[in-house]
């Protein structure tokens, strides 16, 4: 799986999962891309329950992918309608979110993620995906909270 585009244009990779923090991260990434002339590489990650070894009811993988693609497209269109258009590449990848985002960030100017995704531990200040990205990403990471505040990790951020 490769979501990298290496045509010389700066890239800002942003993780999109439908959570409030993800929407703010996408808004932040679009604004930054507009200021720097970068392309936004929006990456949505989905997984099929039971595909990684734990027991789950039978699922239709194609249906799950289509639902994930529709949700990603709707979120991107909603944010772009709010704050304007920038060059954008939409990527939907099946797998583990942190691993996919870290891989997608190779060669990027920035990786932007929300502080908390849709995981079940709302009391945590930082989600496991954003924490893994901050530690392992090959570029600076900006972590955006649902209230729009951003903190940088691994380098300077806007």
User: Is 53 among the domain residues?
Assistant: no
User: Is 3 among the domain residues?
Assistant: no
| pLDDT tens-digit series, residues 124-152 | 455 689 999 999 999 999 999 887 566 66
User: Is 1 among the domain residues?
Assistant: no
| pLDDT tens-digit series, residues 31-63 | 999 999 999 999 999 876 554 455 555 555 565
Identify the CATH number of the domain in which residue 108 sits.
3.40.50.620
User: Is 94 among the domain residues?
Assistant: yes
pLDDT at 147: 76
Q: What's the rounded Cα separation, in Å, for the pair 136 and 14?
A: 15
Which residues lie across from 39 on neighbouring strands?
A: 11
Question: 3-state DSSP call for residue 90?
Answer: strand
Domain that residue 127 falls in: 12-48+59-153
**Overall domain count for the chain:** 1
User: Is 74 among the domain residues?
Assistant: yes
pLDDT at 1: 34
User: Is 132 among the domain residues?
Assistant: yes
Q: Answer whether residue 16 shows pLDDT above 50.
A: yes
Does pTM surpass 0.85? Answer: no
User: Is 101 among the domain residues?
Assistant: yes
pLDDT band at 91 (very low <50, low <70, confident <90, very high): very high
Q: What's the rounded Cα separation, in Å, for the pair 26 and 41?
A: 10
User: Is 79 among the domain residues?
Assistant: yes
- CB environment 37-46: b (16+ within 10 A), e (fewer): ebbbbbbbbb
pLDDT at 152: 62
């Amino acid at each position: 799986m490769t979501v990298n585009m290496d045509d010389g244009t700066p890239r800002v990779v942003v993780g999109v999962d439908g959570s409030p923090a993800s929407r703010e991260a996408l808004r932040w990434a679009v604004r930054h891309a507009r200021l720097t002339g970068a392309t936004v590489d929006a990456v949505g990650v989905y997984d099929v329950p039971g595909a990684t070894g734990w027991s789950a009811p039978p699922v239709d993988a194609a249906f799950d992918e289509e639902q994930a693609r529709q949700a990603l497209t709707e979120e991107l269109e909603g944010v772009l309608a709010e704050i304007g258009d920038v060059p954008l590449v939409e990527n939907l990848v099946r797998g583990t979110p942190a691993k996919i985002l870290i891989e997608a960030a190779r060669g990027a100017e920035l990786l932007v993620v929300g502080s908390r995704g849709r995981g079940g531990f709302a009391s945590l200040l930082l989600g496991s995906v954003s924490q893994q990205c901050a530690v392992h990403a090959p570029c600076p990471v900006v972590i955006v909270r649902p209230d729009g505040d951003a903190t940088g990790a691994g380098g300077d951020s806007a």
